[in-house]
A and B are shown apart, each in its own frame.
Chain A
Amino acid sequence: GAGVSQSPRYKVAKRGQDVALRCDPISGHVSLFWYQQALGQGPEFLTYFQNEAQLDKSGLPSDRFFAERPEGSVSTLKIQRTQQEDSAVYLCASSLVLGSTEAFFGQGTRLTVV
């Protein structure tokens, strides 16, 4: 596709439910990043991949959060046993190569835990 695509755009989950958020990066982009953006704040780094390898997951807030990119393209961010504090917009970004190059963001998934 022409840009980074995320689905679903909106997700409402009951507390304790598991959710899976999908990211389709720009075709051919090596690096893929996940960020969490709370209301009124800037995005905060969660994790990133180079192809299928997860090189940094230091930003994942707890072991309930898990991300994968098994074939080096589509990525899924999974949150188990969701809590109210998980409510946020989850943004995915991709860039052509590893390293500090221009990042392109998707529209985000707004997760609301009730």
Chain B
Amino acid sequence: KQEVTQIPAALSVPEGENLVLNCSFTDSAIYNLQWFRQDPGKGLTSLLLIQSSQREQTSGRLNASLDKSSGRSTLYIAASQPGDSATYLCASDGSSNTGKLIFGQGTTLQVKP
């Protein structure tokens, strides 16, 4: 059974810092891994999706990497801004290829001005 873990649970950084959020998963037979952002009281916004054949994806200041063999993904945020403050969730589809997602518990990020 796929399990997804995110470390740390919470992170506070000053504005401008580069930072890394970590995600690990137990079953390496995944089809893709997706990173989401969730603002308080809101739904999930998709940030990046990495297919199993890819090693990384980039969008603006965000870069997500995937290492299937070690069961790890990282989300790198460059030059953090107060507007980046949110909870970041990673999710894996396991090996079922149905689109059903297994989520980590999230990392709550606070970027201080």
Contact = CB atoms under 8 A, between A and B. Distances in A.
A1 interface: no
B103 A102 contact: no
B66 interface: no
A95 B100 contact: no
Contacts of B97: 99-100
Contacts of A48: 98-100
Interface size class of B (residues with CB under 8 A): 20 to 34
Given A35-B103, A100-B32, 13 more contacts: A42-B6, A42-B104, A42-B106, A48-B98, A91-B44, A95-B99, A98-B98, A99-B98, A102-B34, A105-B46, A106-B43, A107-B43, A110-B41
User: Can you list the 5 inter-chain pairs with the closest CB atoms, starting with the nearest?
Assistant: A42-B103, A100-B31, A105-B44, A107-B43, A100-B93
Interface of A: 4, 6, 31, 33, 35, 40-45, 48, 55-56, 91, 93, 95, 98-108, 110
